[in-house]
A and B are shown apart, each in its own frame.
Chain A
């Protein structure tokens, strides 16, 4: 399928929320499914197309397990992008990088113990290899993809099916993609390893609506999302966010890549 055709499919999907016959949540205008086929890059990463759309970022007061910093606000993402369905594996990492820093070795395990700059370097090399722009997702892109058109994609009681976290992971990361994907086909957005995002960590802007937010202009603490094998339910939510200094190399933090579409 050509790029134009892909975009058309995406736009049609974006224009028809709840097109599977179910009403879309009132505050989410993202599509319920990603209807376009994926593109497989040279590392074998099957990049999923994510259409433009709007969603409620953060959490409402009274939501289970919410933290005060999850200030609810509407975010509009105007650009279509692609996102990897899984976290970057150690095999994929070693295809481009000289060393595997992961504490727990395994080709299909997510790479971990990489700093934010290491992650940036991986994206740069992948971009050079593919002749395309790969990068870490912005915080908003990450949450948008995690929610996949739903307001609450996984309640605490349903986490077992979709996430490796402290209650079921046995103190270790697991092979990527071994839990059920979300509605857009992304695995392990919740749990397994937490994921670096592009954005510096700071409070959300106190505005009811933002468009294509990219976080604070400066800062060396980066947003890490999704929770991990070592996190409890409060950390394993689409709205949950934390900040980690970009030099840290942590056994529970890895990455997922996005590809820009121009």
Chain B
């Protein structure tokens, strides 16, 4: 047992991923590290050149993140694709995308891939992510992909394979999870993995918020059966979004699988559409996961009511607790406490950090693509919980992988 403790650890001053990666490249160049090629070879132009970027998905988040890409300074948005004409036009006007490089329809992104861009940012409904990412890699583009990476098991495998091909083809492939850029999250996770909270016994992951997708619910209610409104209201369509556990709650479960450095063995769950009346997505999930070493993680989420707007993951050990909140503080309480702290706006700052890392990967020639494996694992973790809840029966990880079940979205009536 520990005999003494102090108020806090003295943390090593954090260095941003950007700085250390750049410094690493200098080192690697000096020692001839085999993983890398020179920046010029990697990008084919000066390392500080602006990358041309195609934006696939020009809705709310697509527009929001494009602003961050623009703000970075290392990108020039030269093409845009969205199913909806008015969205791509608004996006194109805002970011001065030439009219000839604004593409619409379900397959508009393919024309974007032929427009000469260096990289793409994919912010379309999750159902489309695997195919769009695969086609982008096939076309030799660097890929910046929003979470979730896919809505089903085959989609996760497709993304995994695309990232592997990207590495082979010397292309960057980054999945945009914000928490993993946060120094407080990183330090707390590291300490838990070192045993600072003792033997890990259990955990809880929660994602509580009020009603979301209000406009989408309205559209569906006003014109049920309209194919374009169904697409526009993708957040309420379980096949297009993956359902809320995969589409949004993944943030909380990603932290759990990160700390435990494992995939769950099996899950049992329940839930339903208890408040919202539009769409096919549930508005509450409750799942019990069993991870290796008999670690049990309870998960619950809601998209209804008021209060508790929180994305939380707590991991309980025999000697302490890791407590993390996406919009709040990250800390460890117990015999080896960690005071941690709070990034003012992780939602924005995390994405900005990933955008910077993506740029440095491309200009520096780093094709290791380290964000993908964990993203596949946490995406599959959400699918396991969803499968168990939808089925109302226990589902094992192996069973889920063997079933390899695909979600099929209804795209009938949409323009290709």
Residues of A bordering B, CB below 8 Å: 26-27, 56, 60-62, 65-69, 71-74, 101, 103, 113, 115, 166-167, 171, 194, 201-203, 206, 208-209, 219-221, 227-228, 230-235, 240, 242-245, 247-252
For A245, the closest partner residue in chain B by CB is B6
B194 engages A227 (CB within 8 Å) = yes
Q: Which residues of B contact A (CB under 8 A)?
A: 1-6, 9-15, 17, 20-21, 23-24, 26-28, 30-35, 186, 190-191, 193-195, 198-199, 260-261, 292-293, 336, 366, 368-370
A231 and B14 alpha carbons, distance in the complex (Å): 22
8 Å CB contact of A245 from B9, B20, B195: B9
- Distance of A217 from chain B, by nearest CB (Å): 15
Taking A69-B12, A203-B12 as contacts, is the C-beta distance between A231 and B195 under 8 angstroms?
A: yes
Q: Are A26 and B32 in contact (CB under 8 A)?
A: yes
Interface of A, helix, strand, loop or mixed by DSSP: loop
Q: Is the interface of B mostly helix, strand, loop or mixed?
A: loop
Q: Which of A69, A233, A242, A249 contacts B261 (CB 8 A)?
A: A233
Chain B's nearest CB lies how many Å from the CB of A200? 9
Q: How far is the CB of A246 from chain B (nearest CB, A)?
A: 10
A166-B293, A206-B23 known; A242 vs B1 contact (CB < 8 Å): no
**Which residues of B have CB within 8 Å of A209?**
30
Pair A101/B193 contact, Cβ less than 8 Å: no
Given A220-B10, A221-B9, are A68 and B194 also a contact pair (CB < 8 Å)?
Answer: no
- Residues of chain B within 8 A (CB-CB) of A201 are 10, 12
Task: Select which of B27, B32, B191, B198 is within 8 A of A242 by beta carbon.
Answer: B191
When the two chains form their complex, are residues B27 and A26 in contact, meaning their CB atoms are under 8 A apart? no
Whether A232 pairs with B193 at a CB distance below 8 angstroms is yes
> Which residue of the partner chain, among B1, B21, B199, contacts A61 with CB atoms under 8 Å?
B21
Chain B contacts of A243 at CB under 8 A? 9-12
**Residue pair B27, A208 in contact (C-beta under 8 Å):** yes
Q: Are B195 and A244 in contact (CB under 8 A)?
A: no
Instruction: Provide a sorted-by-A list of 20 A–B residue pairs whose CB atoms are within 8 angstroms.
Output: A56-B31, A61-B21, A62-B368, A69-B15, A74-B30, A113-B3, A115-B4, A166-B199, A221-B10, A228-B195, A231-B195, A232-B193, A235-B190, A235-B194, A243-B9, A243-B10, A247-B6, A248-B5, A250-B2, A251-B2
> Contacts A62-B368, A245-B6; is A252 near B199 (CB within 8 Å)?
no
Q: Which of B9, B10, B15, B336 has the most CB of A within 10 A?
A: B10
Residues of B within 8 A of A245 (CB): 6, 9-10
Contacts of A66 in B (CB 8 A): 370
B256 to chain A, nearest CB (A): 13
Q: Which 8 residue pairs of A and B lie closest in terms of their CB atoms, listed nearest first?
A: A62-B368, A230-B195, A249-B3, A221-B10, A208-B27, A235-B194, A208-B30, A234-B193
